[in-house]
Structure 1
Amino acid sequence: MRFDVLTLFPDLFPGYLGQSLLKKAIDRGMVQVELHDLRRWSKDKHHKVDDRPFGGGPGMVLRVEPVVECVEDVQRRANGPGRVVMLTPQGRKLNQQIVEELAQEDRLLLLCGRYEGFDQRVVDLLQPDEISAGDYILNGGEVAAMVIIDAVVRLVPGVLGEEQSTVEDSFSTGNRHLEWAQYTRPREYRGHKVPEVLLSGDHKAIAQWRREQGFLKTKTRRADLLETPPTELPPPAGSSEPPAQKNEPTKSAPIQDKTKTDN
């Protein structure tokens, strides 16, 4: 898996990429991350890549020429052009399904915005996959690019010690519930005990407890994730029984996205 990060601030990445699972994946040759400074494609003697917006207004806009020419040049450097992802608040909101979709690619070009964003002709010419990290304000797309790298790398075969852990993660395909509560030693701390079922050795009972706990946590905290109404508990795996019908959940009005700067 190869990531090409196109950014004005490449020095933000080495520290992050040099730690933990990401470092191991890179050292083992399972993942490749290349950083490209957009200023290198500027024809301005001061290496400027931004300018004031036509029509007036605050801030600066990233110019079309250095961005498009950087992407085209980087695409020629390896086999296959790769999938261009623009980090922008106007894109579809990142979730685990999108992460799984991106993980199917051999190469991703992550285009990090700054200031007031990109000249619209960057979008018109490159037709990127526009993705937002969420409905909140960031100084630029670099942190969002790190989020995508981190989330996608976990799904690269062999990166994690236990492949099953990605299947059981919250939001993963086949498990749209939040993960159950986890415990380790000691068995008791300040009066708080580990649930007895987890110490029983009964794997069937443990699996049932975890399934129920994950469902209840999802119903309480993220009912929107449930494919069935949040008042229903899905039947155990392999069961042909439909869940019992209860009260329909109340639908809330959609929240409007008022984010401005690049995520």
Structure 2
Amino acid sequence: MWIGIISLFPEMFKAIIDYGITNKGIKKKLLTLNFWNPRDYTKKKYHNVDCNIYGGGSGVILKAEPLIKSIHAAQYKVNNSAKLFYLSPQGKKINKSYINNLLTYKNIILLCGRYKGIDERIINYYIDEEISIGDYILSGGELPAMVLIDILTRLIPGVLNTKSSNDTDSFFNNGLLDSPHYTRPRILKNKEKVPEILLSGHHKKIQEWRLQQSLGNTWLKRPDLFKKKKLTKEEKILFNEFKNKLIKKNL
């Protein structure tokens, strides 16, 4: 996957380029990141990228012309074949299905706003879609872009060692949250024990236990997700067992 990034602060992306799963994807040549800084398309590098808003009001926004030149340069790199996304709190909130749709594109460009945003004409005439990672305000689009890149990189075939690592993650686990996980030591602080089922070596029972815990976790922590889930006959039995055990425990 090729991702072009338009940002006033490309240096921020070193955090994901030099470390973690994104670094792994780049080293495997499964992911390419290229950057364009609107400052490079102005007469004075540290001036003329932002301006006061017409009509008055506090704050500044990014000017159109440096952004247009950045967009053209980024699109030229991939023969105008990239979809252009603007990271914005006004955009469509990303979810599992939206991420899967993004993965169908070979080339995408992410435009990171700053300050109070960008000239509306850029959104109207150049942006294909506005996207958001949540209902809150950040100082710019760089952090949301990094979040999005990390999500996408994990799902690029070949980046992770095993496909099942993704399949069992929360949200990608058939719409459920993940089950609890444990590692050494078996007993923590002389009282907290790893569930015996996980030490049994009985793979079918372990799989059933994990499914049951996923159902229970989702019911307890994200009832909104659980309501959307259509349970199979097996899942209904496992969930009812989970609920009954919880009720007995709290009596």
Quick check: TM above 0.5? yes
Query: Which residue does 1:215 correspond to in 2?
Result: 215
Deviation at 1:35, TM superposition (A): 1.4
Number of residue pairs the alignment of both structures matches: 238
Identity over aligned pairs, percent: 38
**Partners of 2:22 and 2:197 in 1: how far apart?**
35
**Partners of 2:45 and 2:193 in 1: how far apart?**
66
RMSD: 2.2
Query: Which residue does 1:55 correspond to in 2?
Result: 55
Deviation at 1:227, TM superposition (A): 5.0
Match runs of 1:173-192 below 5 Å: 175-190=174-189, 191-192=191-192
Query: Which residue does 1:253 correspond to in 2?
Result: none
Structure 2 regions of 5+ residues with no counterpart?
241-251
**Partners of 1:45 and 1:165 in 2: how far apart?**
44
**Which structure shows the bigger proportion of residues in helix conformation?**
2
Deviation at 1:167, TM superposition (A): 1.4
Q: Structure 1's 235 and 43: CA in aligned 2 closer, same or farther, altered over 3 A?
A: farther
Query: Higher relative CO (CA 8 A, sep ≥ 6), structure 1 or 2?
Result: 1
Query: Which residue does 1:235 correspond to in 2?
Result: 233
User: After the TM superposition, which segments of 4 or more aligned residues of structure 1 sit over 6 Å from their partners?
Assistant: none
Confirm or deny: 8 A CA contact 2:7 2:142 kept in the other structure: yes
Deviation at 1:210, TM superposition (A): 0.7
Deviation at 1:97, TM superposition (A): 2.2
Deviation at 1:228, TM superposition (A): 4.5
Of residues 121-130 and 35-44 in structure 1, the stretch that sits farther from structure 2 once superposed is 35-44
**Partners of 1:144 and 1:45 in 2: how far apart?**
25
**Partners of 1:95 and 1:135 in 2: how far apart?**
13
Confirm or deny: 8 A CA contact 1:103 1:153 kept in the other structure: no
Q: Given the two structures, how large is their TM-score scaled by the length of structure 2?
A: 0.88
Residues 1:89 and 2:92 aligned together: no
**Partners of 2:232 and 2:74 in 1: how far apart?**
48
| Per-residue CA distance 1:218-251 (angstroms, 9 max, x = gap) | 111111112547xx854338x9x9x99xxxxxxx
Query: Could you say what secondary structure the match of 1:154 adopts?
Result: helix
**Partners of 1:45 and 1:85 in 2: how far apart?**
24
Query: Which residue does 1:71 correspond to in 2?
Result: 71
Query: Which residue does 2:117 correspond to in 1?
Result: 117
Match runs of 1:1-263 below 5 Å: 1-43=1-43, 47-172=47-172, 175-190=174-189, 191-226=191-226, 228=228, 234-236=232-234
Deviation at 1:153, TM superposition (A): 0.5
What amino acid maps onto 2:182 in structure 1?
Answer: Y
**Partners of 1:234 and 1:218 in 2: how far apart?**
15
What amino acid maps onto 2:148 in structure 1?
Answer: I
Query: Which residue does 1:255 correspond to in 2?
Result: none
